[in-house]
Structure 1
Amino acid sequence: MDRFVPRFLYDRYIRFRIWRRDFSFDDWDAERVFKTSLYLTEWLLQIILLALFWLFIIPPIMDNDFFVGEELGEVIREFVLVCTRPTVKGFIILISSAVALNLLFNFILRCRRLTSRQYHVMSATIGYVLLQINCNAKCMVVIMVFMLIIFLLVNRLKVFVERDRQIIRPVYTITLILTTILCLGEFFFPYERVWEGSRAIMMVMTMKVISISTDDYCLKRITTVELVGYLLCPASVLFGPWMSMDTYTLNNVHRQKLSAKWFTQTIQAFTYAMAHMILSNCLVQSITPISDAFYIPMKWHEALRNSFAFRSSNYCTGYMAEFTMLTAGFNAYQHYDEEQRWDYPVARPSNIECPRSMAVVLKNWNIPAYRFFKDCVYSPFSEINYVCGLTMTFVLALLLNGFNARMMLILLTMGILSYSQEIIQDKLAYWFDCCCCVNPCDDECEHRFGPWNPITLIINGFNMVINVSHLAYLGYVMDRKFERTTIYELYEIWEDEFGVQTHFLMLVWWATMLFIS
């Protein structure tokens, strides 16, 4: 029977069969039944969402009255023709060149054993062609000038490292110069659209160079060909994400055969990326807030809608980055790990939409970026002090985003909330001996009250509701019309709409943290 199961559901089908084999009514309890029902609900929802998505983007099915009624069919057809079809067409045009060139990169890598130099040359060539196709002439000039600055800076610092003449560490010099360029471009670059088209690409390049410069030995031995290949790797040059130099080089060393799991993971990432683009551009924007529905004020309906649209666009970017990484053959963060094979998660929407803390949101918003900040910024500075590590992480994240006032206020708010929630939830977990810490326990939870105990569910449910309101409050100002606003203007917007609720709760959380610690 296994051969008749669709490939993209095969893993879930096997897990369901194992659950059905092991489940027995002799030892059942409320916790196991509740956990099992949640798993089955998630499994069914994923199947329904995937089926509905493909039904929406295939217009011939909409013409058949057997599937939908006549009135509903008219609404769906109008929705498909006006928004969904143009969105899908634009998405396919946007990603088609990236798919073709990354598949070419992947197949060449597996059809022929390449030397290290050949691998870097191929990566740089295909990455440059990909940028040339998707970026206009002005964006290409900005990106090439930025890369030239990187080459001159790295080569000059290599001389100082070899002669042991550096006054300060090279990572500080590189970080200061490149982030200063990003900040100056954010405020003074004359062509706004050109800067918006090249900013994200230069940000990822900056993160790559910073990660190299943290190790003086790596900076000293890296060649120009390796640096160009690393910066222009086609898997991450357009949509990201950041990847370490080890991940990039190991892709040429540990070559895994393309399997059915690679194909299913690639199709799944592509489907989720397209689904979240349709959600962000069409479905969410077409929802009209209802006045005081479910006893929630209309302004909060609008905030929830706008913030979810912004998060959906981030999920779309994350799944597009995951899709390009998989098509290029990058099978995991650690190529030797069998459990992570053909799995390169960039964003986890389920952990963001139902967060038990703001720290979980920051961690799952962009997992490779989180690894970069943790390994290259937080870990070195946390040896001095925990607060110092958090502060430097916040400062570098702010500089990489061009010292934008809106991002500064949002990152500062989320940082304070994350720090205070960690102290408070750790204290609650200690007092009640329940699994309500900032990060969930592993499979073997040692607390007296596990993750599915009613006491734990009440505490985590209360934290989830508070965090969802924080996301709606902060995401309300992520609309493009608020992009160039100042801190004072943002404060007035929040005060007029919500009465600065999240910032008031932030102060309450901070005071509570100081009291109980």
Structure 2
Amino acid sequence: MEDYYDNTYDENEDLYDFSYDDNVRVVADGDSIDWRDGYDSCVSSSLVQVPTFIAPFIVANIVLCMISKVQVRFLPSFMFHLSNISCGLYLLYNSIDRGRWYLFQLLAPAYLLLKLSTKNSQRIRLDLVLCVFCIAYLIICEIYEQNAEVWHHIRGVLMIVVMKIISLALDSKSDGLVKSQINTLAFLGYICCPANCIFGPWTSFRDYMESQPKKNARLLSLTPTAKYIYQIAFNLTFAILCLLFSNCAQVFLISDYTWKWLAAYVVALSFRTSHYFVSFLSQATMVSAGYSTENRHGSKSTVSKHSRVFGYTVVLPWNIELPYSLIHVVVAWNVPMHNFLKQYVFRVLKPYGTFTAVFLTYVTSSLLHGLNFQLWATLLTLGIWSYVEYNIRKKLAHIFSACVAVGKCNGICAKHKLGRTAALSIVINFTFCCLSFIHLIYLGTIFDASSELQTEGFSFWHAVQKWQELHYLSHWILVLGLIFNWLI
């Protein structure tokens, strides 16, 4: 089951508060509005603001990419790290008004512990101490910061930094090449990399070092440049479309007369598209800086196919909106985060049992996201259901010898008598698809972007109230799933 778990609701979208301007909430009382008024108050205002928000991130990373190509030919290697540090600090300074010191005061003790952990004479696993320190630092800062809005803006950035430090600490113990490459400039360049210091995604230190262009790379090459431009344009186009839907869907589609489940679906979809906006924007910044995932996976994999079009893969929206299972949803939600949790948490805990590993992986993900009830409840619900669904479908696949397991059977299956096109297989797979759809609505409806709580984080009672309106259906399904899994 190690390929199926993830954090699902990350906080990087907290940084674009321009998208939740009060003039967008023109249907606060639930009344329908004229389409032209909706366009003027929502669509038009979003389109005016988004270019000025996006431009600095893309320009800074294009500049970084050009500097890196020049550096690899004519300048010493440390200039690669200096250019990353400079561009990254520029974006951090301009994107975060308050709370940036929480980031800077973490770096010195983290680097000191990192260097000490690389000493072979140490009996104490200082790399593990560093991991615990970073997570504890996140929790302590959240408790210390009295202004919820300030913390809501900085925690996504801090989460990415903590993940980088944790992965670097563990890799420095197991990878001699990584250990030999660590120095002050390389560490700061990796942490401040402008391609992912604000919106993510997490990348490993090895990926950061490999992003430096090869010495034989041509400064100007027509085909790569054309591909480079259209991949950035593709990502930005999808990002803007997702932003418009996230901002304006509730304005046009929800009124007092809307069926509660349809309204909940629109709210949940608005939240998901806000995540897609951040993900496509982060893909655009990664491509702009010269990163690519095109050659990291098999040519027939979903990630590889996505990367050939977009250049870099953070999210797979079609796997989320048309879910084969909820397990595939949590993997597709944030592919790099999934890889981080699988490599640095799940596999470490797997010897203690699958359920323990899955449960503690989601606990770790929750801790990285902070002390937030809605995130904890959502992530732990996903973790338990992922385990239950995986086991139920595995047992049904064995009982009926049918292609209904979480891992899809490829082509003509020699392992099962009933292939994916058999009637029973279709019924079982469709049933779990519908259950995943219900879970997406139920768990996503508490992340209501039109709520005033969006800028400070949602409360315990907000989540309970939203779930009560839907009769706690998803949690009842979870209970029935646990019973059914025990019975079979």
| Cα offset, 1:402, TM superposition | 0.7
TM-superposed deviation, 1:259: 4.4
How far residue 165 of structure 1 moved from its aligned partner, in angstroms, is: 2.5
Following the alignment from structure 1 to structure 2, what is the Cα–Cα distance between the partners of residues 268 and 102? 16
Would you say the 8 A contact 1:123–1:232 is kept in 2? yes
Cα distance, 1:326–1:152 mapped onto 2, change above 3 Å: same
Partners of 1:263 and 1:175 in 2: CA distance: 38
- What CA distance in whole angstroms lies between the structure 2 residues aligned with 1:337 and 1:420? 29
Query: 2:386 corresponds to which letter in structure 1?
Result: S
| Structure 1 SS opposite 2:158 | helix
Cross-structure match for 2:486: 514
**Could you state the TM-score of these two structures normalised by the residue count of structure 2?**
0.82
Pairwise CA distance, 1:277: 0.2
Contact 1:378/1:390, CA 8 A, preserved across alignment: yes
Check the 8 A contact 1:235/1:325 in 2, yes or no. Answer: yes
- 1:127/1:232 contact within 8 Å kept: yes
1: CA distance between counterparts of 2:204 and 2:357?
Answer: 20
1:499 aligns with 2:471: yes
Name the SS for the 2:211 alignment partner. helix
Q: Which amino acid aligns with 1:501?
A: L
Preserved CA contact (<8 Å) 2:35 2:252: no
Shift of 1:284: 3.7
Match of 1:162 in 2: 119
Q: Is the 8 A contact 1:158 1:220 kept in 2?
A: no
Q: Does 1:411 align with 2:379?
A: yes
Report if the CA contact (8 A) 1:310-1:478 is conserved.
Answer: yes
Residue 242, structure 1, aligned to residue 211, structure 2: no
C-alpha change, 1:498 and 1:381, in structure 2 (3 Å) is same
- Deviation (angstroms), 1:163: 5.2
Residue 233 (structure 1) shift: 0.5
Q: What's the counterpart of residue 178 of structure 1? A: 134
Structure 1 443/144 Cα, relative in aligned 2: closer, same or farther at 3 Å?
farther
Change (3 A) 1:207 1:470: same
- Aligned counterpart in structure 1 of residue 192 of structure 2, from 215, 224, 232: 232
Amino acid at match of 1:393: T
State which drifts further: 104-113 or 300-309.
104-113
Matched, 1:93 2:52: yes
Corresponding letter in the other structure for 2:99: C
Residue 152 of structure 1 pairs with residue 139 of structure 2: no
Whose relative contact order is higher, 1 or 2, with alpha carbons under 8 Å and at least 6 apart? 2
Unaligned segments of structure 1, at least 5 residues: 1-73, 293-297
Distance of 1:366 and 1:235 partners within structure 2: 16
Q: Is 2:274 aligned against 1:313?
A: yes
Q: Quick one: which amino acid aligns to residue 228 of structure 1?
A: L
Equivalent position of 1:346 in the other structure = 314
Identify the residue that residue 23 of structure 1 maps to in structure 2: none
Written as runs of structure 1 = structure 2, the 5 A alignment for 1:393-472 is: 393-443=361-411, 445-446=413-414, 447-472=416-441
| Partner residue, 2:24 | none
Measured in 2, the distance between the counterparts of 1:154 and 1:361 equals: 35
| Superposition map of 1:193-342 within 5 A | 193-215=149-171, 216=173, 217=176, 218=178, 222-254=182-214, 258-289=224-255, 291=257, 298-332=259-293, 334=295
2-side partners of 1:131 and 1:457: how far apart?
A: 49
Deviation at 1:133, TM superposition (A): 2.2
Which amino acid is 1:245 matched to? F
When residues 337 and 513 of structure 1 are mapped into structure 2, their CA distance, relative to the original with a 3 A threshold, is closer
Distance 2:296 2:141 in 1: 37
For residues 307 and 493 of structure 1, do their structure 2 counterparts lie closer, same or farther at Cα, with a shift above 3 Å needed?
closer
Relative distance call for 1:315 and 1:439 in structure 2 (3 A) is: farther
Partners in 2 of 1:445 and 1:290 — Cα distance? 50
How large is the RMSD of aligned CA atoms in angstroms? 2.6
**Structure 1 stretch 274-283 or stretch 430-439: which is displaced more?**
430-439
Q: Which amino acid counterpart does residue 508 of structure 1 have in structure 2? A: L
Alignment check: 8 A CA contact 2:113 2:127 kept:
no
> Where does residue 52 of structure 1 map in the other structure?
none
> Any idea what SS the aligned residue of 1:441 has?
coil
Post-superposition shift, 1:368? Answer: 0.6
3-state secondary structure, aligned to 1:241: coil
In structure 2, C-alpha distance between the alignment counterparts of 1:489 and 1:251, rounded to whole Å:
43
The residue that corresponds to 1:380 in the other structure is 348
Which structure has the larger Rg over C-alpha atoms? Answer: 1
Amino acid at match of 1:514: W
SS at match of 1:383: helix
1:223, CA displacement in angstroms?
0.8
> Quick one: distance in 1 between partners of 2:374 and 2:269?
18
Tell me, in whole angstroms, the C-alpha distance in 2 between the residues paired with 1:284 and 1:349.
20
- Is 2:459 the partner of 1:485? yes
Query: Does the aligned pair in 2 maintain the 1:106–1:327 contact within 8 Å?
Result: yes
Q: Separation in 2 of the partners of 1:170 and 1:301?
A: 51
Per-residue CA deviation, residues 206-231 of structure 1 (Å, 9 max, x unaligned), is: 00001011132545751111110000
Q: Deviation per CA, 1:285-309, whole angstroms, max 9, x where unpaired?
A: 32125857xxxxx221221111111
TM superposition shift of 1:346: 0.8
Question: How far apart are residue 457 of structure 1 and its match?
Answer: 2.6
- Superposed CA deviations along residues 468-505 of structure 1, whole A, max 9, x for unmatched, are 1111111121225383423x76445423x122111111
The percent of aligned pairs where both chains have the same amino acid is 26
- The superposition leaves residues 192-211 of structure 1 with CA deviations (integer Å, 9 ceiling, x where unpaired) of 22222211111100000010
Distance 2:116 2:248 in 1: 53
Aligned-residue offset at 1:150: 2.7
Give 1 or 2: higher helix fraction: 1
